[in-house]
Amino acid sequence: MTRRLASLILCGGVAVLGSACATKSFVQKQVSATESKLTQQMTATETNLAERAALQETKLRETADRAGESRQAIDVADQRLNGLDLRVGDVSARARSAETRADLATGSARDVEARLSQRLASRNRHRLLDTKVVYFDSGQTEIRSQDVNELEDVAKALTADPNAILELQGFADSRGSDRYNRELARERVEAVMRYLVQRHGIELRQLRAITMGKVALGAGEKASPEALAKARRVDIRLLAPWSSWEDALSQNDPTAPEETATVIPAQPGPATISALPVQEPMQPSPAARIDAPATVRLPELLKTITPQDLGGGG
């Protein structure tokens, strides 16, 4: 009985061990299959992740490249903007400089116009520059050698300023008839005029002559040889247009203040706005060329002015 029980127990143990071995093998197979599936899934997942990572890395690189290109474009744009700022600043400075030069040119043009208007208004005013006297022997009309220097100085002044004029007044002493003395005084004035015209080519329009006749003696004055000698003369008065005198004064001393002077009414005759002595035409400065409409009108206006417009004759 005991043996059977032991046999049964032994058989049951063997059966259990056999089934246990069969279960372990099954389990191992199942585990191996699961591990294989998991390995395949992990490999596929890793491959997918690697592909995604590579794709993302490629996109990131492309984004970084585009960002670098954008940064370069921004730098180039900044450089262009800086260049434009510099150009705008330069243009603004040039515009301000041009505006300043235009203002100066406008002011100069206005000053020239004002001076021109003043000269036109003063075209008939003359200033006495010098006086000289040429004496003659009794009953004679020939110019004496000792008076030639006086006429030479006068001729130089007339040549230097074609607008200057010479007033000649002829006298005779108190002896003789009035008609004789008037004729003698006239011939003396004509002798001075012939000398200036023939010797120095002075134009007749610059000479104005008048015969004064004899010089009457004053009350209680005796006809002494000295008094008679002083009466036999031609008085010479050198006159220049007021504008010519002003130009000569400013040319000699630009800083000198304007002097007061006696204005001598001009006799009918030529008068222009040229200077004493004759000056070269002034060239406009670079600053004056900017305001072309103002600076061009004046020379054109001056070209249209004739001696007849200024009150002179031929």
Is the model more confident about 172 or about 310?
172
Angle at alpha carbon of residue 43, lines to 40 and 47, rounded to 5°: 140
Mean pLDDT of all residues in 215-231: 84
- Tell whether the model's pLDDT for residue 285 goes beyond 80: no
Mean pLDDT of all residues in 227-236: 93
Is the model more confident about 81 or about 220?
81
Residue 18 confidence (pLDDT): 62
Mean pLDDT of all residues in 260-276: 37
Model confidence at 304, in pLDDT bands (50, 70, 90)? Answer: low
Mean pLDDT of all residues in 84-102: 87
Model confidence at 206, in pLDDT bands (50, 70, 90)? Answer: very high
The one-letter amino acid at 236? I
Average pLDDT of the chain? 76
Is the model more confident about 184 or about 62?
184
Mean pLDDT of all residues in 179-190: 95
Q: Give the whole-number percent of the chain exceeding pLDDT 70.
A: 71
What fold, for 126-217+224-253+262-279? 60s Ribosomal Protein L30; Chain: A; (3.30.1330)
- Tell whether the model's pLDDT for residue 150 goes beyond 70: yes
- Tell whether the model's pLDDT for residue 256 goes beyond 50: no
- Tell whether the model's pLDDT for residue 314 goes beyond 70: no
State the Cα–Cα distance between residues 85 and 122, nearest whole angstrom: 54
In angstroms, how far is CA 243 from the centroid of its own chain?
25
pTM of the model: 0.44
Contact at 8 Å (CB) between 128 and 238?
Answer: yes
Is the peptide bond prior to 162 cis by the omega test (within 30 degrees of 0)?
no
Q: Regarding beta strands 233-241 and 165-172, do their DSSP bridges make them parallel or antiparallel, or are they unpaired?
A: antiparallel
- 10-24, 138-152, 225-239, range with the lowest pLDDT: 10-24
- Residue 241 tokens read as 């247009």
Is the model more confident about 245 or about 74?
74
The domain segmentation of the chain, as residue ranges, is: 48-121+281-314, 126-217+224-253+262-279
Is the model more confident about 127 or about 10?
127
- Tell whether the model's pLDDT for residue 173 goes beyond 80: yes
What string of DSSP letters covers 145-175?
GGGHHHHHHHHHHHHH-TT-EEEEEEEE-SS
Residue 38 confidence (pLDDT): 84
Q: Which residue has the tokens 């072309």?
A: 292
